[in-house]
Amino acid sequence: MRVVIVGAGEVGSTIAESLAGSHDVVVVDVDTERVESLTYSLDVLPVEGDGTDVDTLAEADVGDADMLIASTDDDETNIVTCGAAKVLGDAFTIARTKSPKYLKAWERAQGAFGVDFMVCTDLLTAEAIVGLAGLPTAQDVDTFADGLVQMTEFEIPAESPVAGQTVAEADRFDSLTFVGIIRGDEVIVPQGTTELRGGDDVVAIGSPESMRLFSSSIAPEEQGPEDVVIVGGGEIGFQTARLLEERGFTPRLVEQDEDRARWLAEHLPNTTVLNSDATDQDLLERENVGLADVVVAALENDQQNLLGTLLAKRMGADRAIAVVDTGNFTELFEAVGIDVAVSPRKVTAEEITRFTRARRAENVAIIEGDQAEVLEFEVDADSILVDRPIRESAVDFPESVVIGAITRDGEFVTPRGDTVVREGDHVVVFTETDVLETVTEQL
């Protein structure tokens, strides 16, 4: 597949890097130095120029491209780039936007602005944060099938009552399936007799309700969080607060800029907006941030986020979630005591990846360290699953593939051995990265 990526910033170059192995990638950027450095670091064709300029796009041969990904830092540039690309050919256009305002318009008429798919980075990040904030011990949360199905990666603490239990003992919930256990670098497909250990990451797929139940069985002493403090009122912080408000929370939000704080306060009726420096210890003490259940750091850069969450943790906050822009820092953050590091680039990559596959998955979640993926497919007539009980079809696909959930006509179906899959069903599948290719063809 021929892919043109406009904007070689952090996001663009990450996507370019992940695609360069299996696709022909052209990268367009206005910055001469960036273009030059890409020439040597990645096996891609760099083109210098403005992505909104038809001449530049023609030079990148967008007319013959299968896909165009506009991932500059500027929303308007990305949207115009997609529009311009549509003039030249019919490449599948993906625009990355930060502000959800364009997404709102696009969702009303998909294909608006000449954009075939719009990825709203900040909104996705906020959704991820909110999902994590609601589930103690969760490391990664993704929703599938319009929210009916949720994939969650839980870390089992050593002192958890679940540690030491077998999968059969721990899985007392009807609409929940354990699909994978990540132990160090190893991915284990759980059997009924597999024992869960402290420090394991368990990937579970099921209804959102069952996730909450399982979460409280892992950490029974943790009540559902009530007191959430967000530091940093950028778009991610704002969206996080807004989504929390929708779920009935009354979060507190710390923002340094006075005008922005006012704007936030006006737009978040159930949030207490505090106008202060997030690293001001006096403020954190006065506002009893140490008593908070969850502290989310969504400041301008990684260093501030690290500092903000470390401070909060030190003061006694139960759980700290930090936004991390630089992908490699995720593990570092978690190593120094931040409970979860959320990477906006990862959530963006997850969204974009599903279009670069031979067959398009409805949704993709990448499990930590790229060892495994959770995919959502719509079952068609050619699938090996169709009209057979899962027990029979399971023999035909690789061992490290687990069907975690099925939705049929908007209803959740728990997959069991005798469940017969029908055409049109949506299946949510856990698969190791090694067998990804085989699986996508078979299912």
Partner 1 sequence: MSRVANGYVDYRVSVAFVGTVLKFLAVAPLFPLVLAFYYGESPVPFIATSAVMVALGFGLEQLRGDGDLGNREAFLLVSLSWLVVPLVGTVPYLVAGTGTVGALTVAGFVNALFESMSGFTTTGATVLGTISVDTHGHAMLMWRQLSQWLGGMGILVLMVAILPELSVGGAQVMNQEAPGLSIEKLTPRIQETARALWGIYAAFTVAAAAVYFVIGAVGIAPEMDLYNAVAHALTTMPTGGFSPQGRSIEAFAPAIQWAVMPFMVVAGTNFALFWYVLDGQPGRLTKNTEFRAYLLAIAGFGVVLSALLLAGLGIATAPENVATIPGNLENSLRQGLFQVIAIVTTTGYASMDFNTWHPAAQTVLLFAFFLGGSAGSAAGSIKVVRWVVVSKSMSRSLFTSIHPEAVEPVRMGREAVDESTIRDVFVFVMIFLTLFAVSTVLLYLDSLRTGLELTPLEAMSVAIATLGNIGPGFGIVGPMNNFLPFSPAAKLYMVFLMWIGRLEILSVLVILTPSFWRR
* Sheet of 67-70, strand order: 45-48, 24-29, 2-6, 67-70, 92-97, 117-120
Q: Should residue 245 be labelled a site residue for partner 1 when binding is judged by CB under 8 A? A: no
Residue with tokens 């936007």: 97
Site residue total, partner 1 (CB under 8 A): 17
Residue with tokens 């996001």: 11
Provide the angle, in degrees to the nearest 10, between the axes of the packed helices 121-134 and 100-108.
100
Query: CB of residue 229 vs partner 1: minimum separation in angstroms?
Result: 12
Q: Which is nearer to partner 1, 230 or 347 (CB)?
A: 230
Q: CA nearest 437: which of 349, 344, 373?
A: 373
Q: Which is nearer to partner 1, 221 or 258 (CB)?
A: 258
Q: Should residue 266 be labelled a site residue for partner 1 when binding is judged by CB under 8 A? A: yes
Angle at 133 between CA 181 and CA 263, to 5 degrees: 145
Count how many Cα atoms sit within 13 Å of the Cα of residue 388 in the half-sphere of its side chain: 16
Q: Which of 156, 203, 261, 367 touches partner 1 (CB under 8 A)?
A: 261
**Residue 291 · residue 313 · CB < 8 Å:** no
Q: Should residue 273 be labelled a site residue for partner 1 when binding is judged by CB under 8 A? A: yes
Q: Should residue 184 be labelled a site residue for partner 1 when binding is judged by CB under 8 A? A: no
Q: What is the number of other CB atoms lying within 10 angstroms of the CB of residue 403?
A: 23
Q: Which is nearer to partner 1, 285 or 434 (CB)?
A: 285
Query: CB of residue 297 vs partner 1: minimum separation in angstroms?
Result: 17
Query: CB of residue 318 vs partner 1: minimum separation in angstroms?
Result: 21
Q: Should residue 315 be labelled a site residue for partner 1 when binding is judged by CB under 8 A? A: no
Q: Should residue 238 be labelled a site residue for partner 1 when binding is judged by CB under 8 A? A: no
Q: Which of 18, 37, 276, 414 touches partner 1 (CB under 8 A)?
A: 276
* β-bridge partners, 205: 151, 177
Kindly identify the residues of this chain, within the stretch 284-313, that bind partner 1 according to CB under 8 A.
286-287
Q: Which of 147, 184, 269, 417 touches partner 1 (CB under 8 A)?
A: 269
Q: Choose the binding region for partner 1 from 38-46, 194-202, 272-280, 420-428 (rule: CB under 8 A).
A: 272-280
Query: CB of residue 287 vs partner 1: minimum separation in angstroms?
Result: 7
Q: Which of 163, 265, 315, 435 touches partner 1 (CB under 8 A)?
A: 265
Query: CB of residue 267 vs partner 1: minimum separation in angstroms?
Result: 8
Q: Choose the binding region for partner 1 from 107-115, 187-195, 243-251, 263-271 (rule: CB under 8 A).
A: 263-271
Q: Which of 217, 272, 326, 433 touches partner 1 (CB under 8 A)?
A: 272
Q: Which is nearer to partner 1, 30 or 298 (CB)?
A: 298
Q: Choose the binding region for partner 1 from 59-67, 275-283, 371-379, 414-422 (rule: CB under 8 A).
A: 275-283
Query: CB of residue 199 vs partner 1: minimum separation in angstroms?
Result: 40
Q: Should residue 283 be labelled a site residue for partner 1 when binding is judged by CB under 8 A? A: yes
Query: CB of residue 107 vs partner 1: minimum separation in angstroms?
Result: 22
Q: Which is nearer to partner 1, 194 or 276 (CB)?
A: 276
Q: Which is nearer to partner 1, 58 or 265 (CB)?
A: 265
Q: Which of 172, 183, 262, 391 touches partner 1 (CB under 8 A)?
A: 262
Q: Choose the binding region for partner 1 from 182-190, 202-210, 264-272, 296-304 (rule: CB under 8 A).
A: 264-272
Q: Which of 264, 340, 347, 405 touches partner 1 (CB under 8 A)?
A: 264
Rounded to whole angstroms, the Cα distance separating 431 from 130 reads 25
- Could you list the residues that contact partner 1 (CB under 8 A)? 254-255, 258, 261-262, 264-266, 269, 272-276, 283, 286-287
